[in-house]
Amino acid sequence: MEIMGFFKTKKMLFICLMYTVFCCKGENNDNITTYKSNTSVIIVNESCFVKQKIFNEKDDKELIYKYENEIYEIKSNKKQAYDIVLNGKKYLSNLNLESANINFYYYKCMDKKVFLIEGDDYYSSVFFAYLFENEVLYYLGNFDINQPNVENSGVLKKDFKILANKDQLTIDLLLRDKFFKTFNLKQKKITPKEVFDSKINLNGLWRLNCENSLTTFDISNKSGYLSLYSDNLIYINVEIIYIEDKIGEYYIKFKSTESQQSYSGDKKSIDDSEISKSENIGRLVIKNDELLLYWEGLYNDKTKKKDFELDFVLIKENEGVNPVKLIKCE
C-alpha cells in the first residue's frame, strides 16, 4: 500500500509540473503577441503607390508620355532648361537635363501622384522627384544613382517602392527587383504654374500679313469667317471653342459655307451637307503677339476623308508651312 501511495503521489506531482510548464508557456506567448496601445495601428513598409503603365513608345525627340486618360510632357523652355506639362497645364520646373537619355516614372496612390524624372548618363543617373496633389506640383528634391561597373553588369532595371507621410517621401530603389538603397526626401517646394496673362483680344481681323486679303480670318466672339480656297474664292463660317484644360487654345469647327464662286468647273467646291459639323478642322493657340493656326482640314462624312487639307489657302500662302502664324491687323 505504501508503495502504491508513493507512485500515486509521484504521478500527481508530475501532472502538476507539466500543467505549470504549459500554463507558463501559454502566458509567454500571449505576452509576445498582444499589445495594448492608445495609438492607431501603423502598417510599416507597405506602399499604396502603384507604377502606372505607359501606353506610347518612348520618343527621345518628343518627350511625351501617354497614360490612361493622362498625357505628360517634359518640354524645353527659353532658358535652355525643361518645364513639366501635366495634361496641358505647364509647371515652371526649369529642370537642367543635359543627359543623353531622359526617362519618366509615374506612381499613383489614390489622389496622390509621384513623378520621378531621370537624366541617365549611362554610368550614373540623377532623379528629380515631384508630388502632384490637388492640382499643385511639389518639388521634393533629387538623388543620384551610380553604376560604375555598368560595362560589366549592363544597365540594371530600376524600379521604386514609395512611402509617403507628412514629413518626408521615402523611396526604396530596386535594381533587378532587389533592394539596393533608400532615399529620404524632406523638401517640399511648390512649383509655380504658368499663368496666362495675354493682353491679346482674340476678336478682330487676323492675316498672314495685313496686305494679303486672301489670308483672312475674321473672329468675333465664338464665331469666325475664314478664307478657305482661293481658286473659287471659298469662304466659310466657323465655330471657335475654348479648350478648358489648355490655356489660350481653341478648337475650330465648320459651321457653313459663307460664299463660293464657280470660276473654274474643275476646281474644288463645298457641299455643306457632306461636311462634318462635329469634327475639329483646326486648332488656335495664342502665343505672345501671334495666333498660331494648326490646320487639319474639313472632314467629309460622305467620303470619310479630309477635304482642303493641303490646298488650304493660308497654308499655300505660307509656303506649305503648318501651323500658320497670323498677326492682328485691326
Q: pLDDT tens digits for 117-164?
A: 998 888 888 999 999 999 899 999 999 988 878 788 777 888 999 998
Does one domain contain both 184 and 221? no
What per-residue confidence (pLDDT) applies to 33?
29
Question: What's the chain's length in residues?
Answer: 330
Phi and psi (nearest 5°) for 304? 60, 35
- Segments forming the whole domain that contains residue 127: 50-191
Same domain flag for 224 and 317: yes
Percentage of the chain modeled with pLDDT above 70? 80
Q: What is the mean pLDDT of residues 179-196?
A: 86
Domain count, the chain: 2
Instruction: State how far Cα 268 lies from the chain centre.
Output: 41
Query: Model pTM greater than 0.85?
Result: no
* Residue 18 domain-assigned (yes or no): no
Mark which of 166, 191, 216 sits at the end of a domain. 191
At residue 5, what are phi and psi to the nearest 5 degrees? -65, -40
Name which of 7-11, 87-91, 185-189 the model is least confident about.
Answer: 7-11
Express each pLDDT in 20-57 by its tens digit. 444 333 333 333 222 232 323 333 346 789 999 988 76
Residue reference for cell 493682353: 199
Clarify whether residues 290 and 265 are in a common domain. Answer: yes
Distance CA 90, CA 88 (A): 6
pLDDT band at residue 265 using 50, 70 and 90 as cut-offs = low
Domain annotation covers residue 119 = yes
139 dihedral zone (left: phi>0; alpha: psi -120 to 50; beta): beta
| Per-residue confidence band for 266, with pLDDT thresholds at 50, 70 and 90 | low
Answer for the pair 78, 98: CB distance below 8 angstroms, yes or no.
Answer: no
Q: What is the DSSP letter of 275?
A: B
Tell me: do 234 and 279 sit in the same domain.
yes
